Amino acid sequence: MSNKSLICAIETSCDETAIAFIENGNKVLSNIVSSQIDTHRAFGGVMPEVASRLHIEQISVVLKEAIGKSGVTMDDVDAIAFTQGPGLIGSLHIGVLASKTLAWYFKKPLVPVHHIAGHIYANAFVTEIKFPLLALVVSGGHTELVYMKEDYDFEILGTTQDDAIGEAYDKVARVMELGYPGGPAIDALAKQGTTQYVLPRVRTEKPLDFSFSGLKSAVLQLVLKEEKHGRELNKANLAYTFQEAVLDEVLLKTKKAIETVEVRQVVLAGGVSANSRLRDRLTKMMDSYPNIALSIPPLWCTTDNAAMIGAAGAVAFKKGIRADFSTSANAGFDLEV
């Protein structure tokens, strides 16, 4: 089957309005992302209604820019791929409606894409994807170990029982008064820290699941205890301890998964994969598995964007996955079909 395809992809699941044009599943013709981070920073987190408002403000600007930079026209496009979910319902609606409008006007097929599939296939921009594959998906909304025996076949081996990893970083950063988003702030501060504090180990019922809420409350209790005793909190040391504890949890489960299923490639995906310490520690861990390839995507395709939806959309398009005009945003969209 020919791999040739030209996909117009739209992603609006959270706080980025993003549109991209992707050729043959791995060539970026244009990739426009309008981030709302500055607005949400003022609110100390993503406000769903505010996010929806910003999407509708941005959609026409982003669309025109994406088409303009792509060097192609909408008539050249083979399909419109869009993030159907999961995500914030009001935000998803804008992208779904924009996609349906384009599909109707230009008479193009509609290809629904799961946001996580997008994060995983973002790796197609930097490496040849090999199966069976294990993806460690870490972001503000997700913490998942996804197993793929073959192309576009997803099995969730483990997921978080409470907060997503990025959420845990944000909450802890709030307790430590480090601002929003919390991930980069803690990652940077942890570089100057060392072991001083002790946080409890995480326990989960299923061996490959994650849990971060215990760590988060432990940090809060520690901060309160230090305050009560009139001791000055060493923020760098706490950032270090928290980050190591979170990554211990993530890497332990990844290692367990590798030893449970047959894997040829491990890919890192999602916004938290920008975390420098995670990149270092995962790379080191994978050194002991010389037969398993590791893909760590460049920063530009780890945070939410539409290029990744185009990469996954190209595969879904080839597989014949389609949506019709009655399709809608699905905030709780399931990756496993």
Partner 1 sequence: MKQLFIDTAHRHLTVACVENDVIVSLFHQDAFKSQSEKVMDAINECFTEADWQPRQLESVILTQGPGSYTGVRIAMTVAKVLASVAPISIFTTTSLQLIAGSSKNTFVLLDARSSRAYGGLVNEGLLVDDASIFTIEQVQQLKENHPDWQFAGDLHLIKETERWMDIKDGIMTCIRYATLVEDIDALIPLYLKSNQEYQL
Choosing from 90, 118, 166, 193, the residue that interacts with partner 1 (CB under 8 A) is: 90
Choosing from 24, 27, 35, 53, the residue that interacts with partner 1 (CB under 8 A) is: 53
Nearest approach in angstroms of CB 313 to partner 1 is 18
Choosing from 1, 38, 105, 336, the residue that interacts with partner 1 (CB under 8 A) is: 105
Cα atoms in the 13 Å half-sphere on the side-chain side of 282: 31
Nearest approach in angstroms of CB 30 to partner 1 is 14
Q: Is 107 in the site for partner 1 (CB under 8 A)?
A: yes
User: Which CB atom, from 90 or from 112, has the smaller least distance to partner 1?
Assistant: 90
Residues in contact with 53: Cβ distance below 8 Å, sequence separation at least 6, in sequence order: none
Distances (CA, A) of 57 to 10, 34, 67, 137, 208: 15, 10, 17, 30, 41
Alpha carbon distance 59, 42 (integer Å): 22
Count of residues in contact with partner 1, rule CB under 8 A? 33
User: Which CB atom, from 50 or from 223, has the smaller least distance to partner 1?
Assistant: 50
Q: Is 11 in the site for Zn ion (CB under 5 A)?
A: no
Partner from Zn ion, partner 1, none contacting 323, C-beta within 5 to 8 A by type = none
Choosing from 11, 16, 163, 304, the residue that interacts with Zn ion (CB under 5 A) is: 304
Residues 84 and 324 sit within 8 Å (Cβ to Cβ): no
Choosing from 94, 168, 185, 311, the residue that interacts with partner 1 (CB under 8 A) is: 94
Alpha carbon distance 292, 296 (integer Å): 13
Nearest approach in angstroms of CB 150 to partner 1 is 32
Nearest approach in angstroms of CB 140 to Zn ion is 7
Q: Is 91 helix (H, G, I), strand (E, B) or coil?
A: helix
Q: What are phi and psi of 257, to 5 degrees?
A: -65, -45
Partner from partner 1, Zn ion, none contacting 304, C-beta within 5 to 8 A by type = Zn ion
Alpha carbon distance 213, 217 (integer Å): 6
Partner from partner 1, Zn ion, none contacting 67, C-beta within 5 to 8 A by type = partner 1
**Angle at alpha carbon of residue 270, lines to 144 and 219, rounded to 5°:** 70
Alpha carbon distance 91, 74 (integer Å): 23
Q: Is 177 in the site for partner 1 (CB under 8 A)?
A: no
Partner from Zn ion, partner 1, none contacting 114, C-beta within 5 to 8 A by type = none
Partner from Zn ion, partner 1, none contacting 50, C-beta within 5 to 8 A by type = partner 1
CB atoms within 10 A of CB 225: 11
Q: Is 38 in the site for partner 1 (CB under 8 A)?
A: no
Distances (CA, A) of 128 to 157, 248, 266: 23, 28, 12
Residues 24 and 3 sit within 8 Å (Cβ to Cβ): yes
- Site for Zn ion, rule CB under 5 A: 139, 304
- Site for partner 1, rule CB under 8 A: 43, 47, 49-50, 52-53, 56-57, 59-61, 63-64, 67, 74, 90, 93-94, 96-98, 100-102, 104-107, 325-329
